[in-house]
Amino acid sequence: MSRPLIEACVGSYASCMAAARGGADRLELCANLVIGGTTPSLALAKQVLRDCDVPVNVLIRPRFGDFLYDEAEMEQMCLEIEAFRRLGVNGVVIGTLNPDGDLDMEKMKRLMDAAGNLDVTLHRAFDMTRDPIQSLEDAIALGCKTILTSGQAPSAPAGAALLRELESRSGGRITIMAGSGVKSGNLQALHDQTGICAFHTSARKGGVDSGMRYRKKEVSMGLPSLSEYEIWQTDETEVRACARIVHSFA
């Protein structure tokens, strides 16, 4: 069984600080969480590393969409990994697939080589693979330290059966970290159902209202279903509640 761990998925400086104050064991630093996350800026990572003593893993994902990457995108990701490694992050969060829905082992090895001695998490590209059991073994063979997964379901609670199987089959060779839809209200049940002790959460409760007094609500800069005047941030109280539950699994 892996050690209890609560990782906060964070997309801003304010969210990083809230997660740290709430007791997160590790941060996954991202940008654009509304589309599942992309690579954050070096400037943000530098700020967080300067001001936060919680280990920081950085998502490496050049764009929204599938995990089938061309040569230019591979070069970009390798360069980003090398830059974050020089900056001093704890780890990187990566994943790339081939057209048939398996881990692209050659490309994964290139990213692993760029990571050097950093911790490596295989992100939820795993949840898009054709054969999760084979992908588990491939991730172990590559030397990944963690797999972040919802159990190939829309949320971790919905994927509990596969999460339980992955935890059992991993045999302590790799950490299975449950993510997607994880919150303080379902953590105990997820642990009881799966045996998993490592969890990933955005710990977001609603949105923070913008400080803008003048609001042009008929214009949208991105997804029209989302308000431009609602700021998504990590909730310190929710992180603290999650941490209290997860740390009781020791």
CB atoms within 10 A of CB 131: 12
229 against 103, higher pLDDT: 103
**pLDDT > 70 fraction of the chain, expressed in percent and rounded:** 97
Question: Which single residue is written with the structure tokens 């002790």?
Answer: 197
Q: How does pLDDT run across 192-231, given as a tens digit for each residue?
A: 999 999 999 999 866 777 888 888 787 777 676 677 777 7
Q: What does the pLDDT read at residue 220?
A: 72
∠ CA 136-103-76, rounded to 5°: 125
Half-sphere exposure of 201 (CA within 13 A, CB side): 34
- 167: exposed, middle or buried (C-beta count within 10 Å: 0-12, 13-18, 19+)? buried
Q: How does pLDDT run across 4-41, given as a tens digit for each residue?
A: 999 999 999 999 999 999 999 999 999 988 888 999 99
Angle between helix 13-22 and helix 236-247 axes, rounded to 10 deg? 40
Angle between helix 132-142 and helix 105-115 axes, rounded to 10 deg? 40
pLDDT higher than threshold 60 for residue 49: yes
DSSP letters spanning 63-74: SSS-S---HHHH
d(CA 17, CA 20): 5
pLDDT higher than threshold 60 for residue 1: no
pLDDT higher than threshold 60 for residue 137: yes
- Domains, the chain: 5-247 (3.20.20.380)
| Token duo for residue 75 | 């070069």
Q: What is the pTM of this model?
A: 0.92
What average pLDDT does the structure give for the chain? Answer: 94
